[in-house]
Amino acid sequence: MSTRKLFELKGKVAIVTGSSKGIGLAIARGLAEYGAKVVLSSRDQNAVESVAQQFNKEGFTAMGQSCHVGDEDQRKNLVQKTIDSYGKIDILVNNAAINPVYDSLENMSSEVYDKMLNVNLKSVFDLSNLCFPYLKKEKSGSIINIASVEGLKPSLGLGIYSITKAAVIMLTQVQAKEWGKHGVRSNAICPGLIKTKFSSALWKNEAILNQIKNQLPAGRVAEPIEMSGLAVYLASSAGSYSTGGVYNADGGHMTI
């Protein structure tokens, strides 16, 4: 088999959460371009339907299914709708996350703490468990958890977010260790600062942007599409020997 064919995803079914925009959308498009049937998911049904329609118009196979990943019933519904439509699940990309407050730990309320752990961590745990029976069927399932460099090296004002992402990294490694015998791989991608609406409070801040340009080896903020190639590798046979990995895509952030 050629190396090129290792990246092909024809016949595979992928769920990507938080995929109506940003990193999730870029990854969903990348998987679709390599042949996967993609289930696009976010809170807004109209948003994911619009993206799915565009994908299908371009010759890809996609469907949109709303899901608030912090809601247990909606998580179950997302998985069931995928099975009803495509009959299988090969790839799960846990991308959806929130960071509603930039502040120090002592100013964080219990409500914010619980909300962030529910959306950023519990949803990853639960969706992975819901998909596990289907992922192990073909002994070639792939879970890709979108963590963050904040889970490796925290920044001021992002304390609870960093805690949740550090836990996602450990969850990824536990999944890899326990589920490898079932042919299920689990890996984490740790993006740095990416030009998305989610992180706009940072990259739209001129002082922070100048600091990035002066200190970061790459000297710039990344575009969402720069995360898609790594996701395709981890989802495909090209990454068949990669599990439990923590992959930084951060422009050198972890070196400074």
Domains of the chain with bracketed CATH: 3-195+223-255 (3.40.50.720)
pLDDT above 80 for 185: yes
d(C-alpha 213, C-alpha 248), whole Å = 18
pLDDT tens per residue, range 79-113: 999 999 999 999 999 999 999 888 999 999 999 99
Q: Which of 161, 233, 241, 247 is catalytic?
A: 161
Report residue 107 as tokens: 């100013």
- Alpha-carbon distances of 127 from 24, 67, 76, 81, 121, rounded to whole Å: 16, 11, 8, 13, 10
Report the mean per-residue pLDDT for the chain.
96
Return the pLDDT at 235: 98
Whole-number percent of the chain with pLDDT over 90:
89
pLDDT above 90 for 46: yes
Average pLDDT over residues 120-142: 97
Neighbouring-strand partners of residue 14: 38, 91
Q: Write out the H or E segment, with its range, that includes residue 41.
A: strand 37-41
Average pLDDT over residues 193-211: 83
3-state secondary structure of 123: helix
Average pLDDT over residues 70-75: 98
Annotated catalytic, 86? no
